[in-house]
Amino acid sequence: MSQQPANKEDIVSSGDSGTSSQEVVSAGQTIEAVDVLGADGNLGAVDPAAVAADNTNKTPVIPVQNSTAPPVSGGAAAAAGKPTAAQEKSEKKGGIVGLIREVVELIVVTVFLLIVIRWAFAEARYIPSSSMEPTLQIEDRLLVEKLSGHLGKPIRRGDILVFYPPPSEMGGKDLSNDPLTVLGRLTGLPFLPYEPAFIKRVVGLPGDKIRVQRDVGVFINEQLLDEPYFKERPNYDLNTLADIGGKGVGGSSMRPFADSKEPIIVPAGQLFMMGDNRNNSEDSHVWGFLDQQRVIGRACLLFWRWLEPPKYPRSIEIFE
């Protein structure tokens, strides 16, 4: 059978019982001859014009699919209509699990942000004692910034620092490595264990020679320090390391340098800290020098203070 190439072909399977081949009609093509298998089993020639006319008169038959849906079982129908008890239980369990997951994610993100902010930028503190009066009052709220320390800004004389006291002041106990205590130290959350922090003013820097004279003031390298901020002049003398001592937080007496007659010279990496309320402050004149690694940050902003009316003599109240 000889045919010319075509650009497009329509392939239709024949439905005649006597035909075992397929009729291939190329669109727009002139067919020379088509060999078909007749009913008697002999091949015969068919007129191309008759084949074309016969194909033109045929109406294409499109198979119709059965639109009747297969029967639905009772269980499937129930599932399609109302959720079963198992499905409701599964959905309820999935909702609870999703809620718990969201709460956990919220807590984790909050704690992470809290740690980053407190470690890198700042944290809030309040004043529990009168050791820094008159500069800071009891129950004052202030902001302690830490960014300058991370950026390498040096500590200066007169800075007000928040720090963890030396172990000698805490009865020999250093900072705890307990996980909950560490988490409390990092987050500041009130329901977690915490370690006390002090707030004092920097008086002596590394290399400074310190001397305190009763009713006069503090001498730095034999020069009287100008301190307009203190509440009253000290009622004690400090001339040598042996003079450093007093009662610590627990009320026990301490003398960190025993009977040393060496002058008080601030070692490298250490600070000499004092409260502005010189006669009511547990500071370096009691426990000695402070390691700079224990500094938390600088007090930079006082943002809350209760204002109370002054207390007048009772005689005035009676007179009124």
99: left (phi over 0), alpha (psi -120 to 50) or beta: alpha
Distance CA 146, CA 233 (A): 31
Distance CA 124, CA 194 (A): 14
Sign of CA dihedral 260, 239, 234, 221: negative
Tokens encoding 289: 């020098």
Is 260 annotated in the active site? no
Is 200 annotated in the active site? yes
Query: What does DSSP say about strands 295-304 and 141-145: parallel, antiparallel, or unpaired?
Result: antiparallel
Tokens encoding 99: 């809620």
End-to-end CA distance of the chain: 134
- From residue 126, how far is each of 161, 191, 230 by CA, in Å? 13, 16, 20
Token pair 């002054």 in the structure block, residue: 310
Given the residues 146, 200, 281, 284, the one annotated as active site: 200
Given the residues 131, 146, 281, 284, the one annotated as active site: 131
Catalytic sites, residue numbers:
131, 200
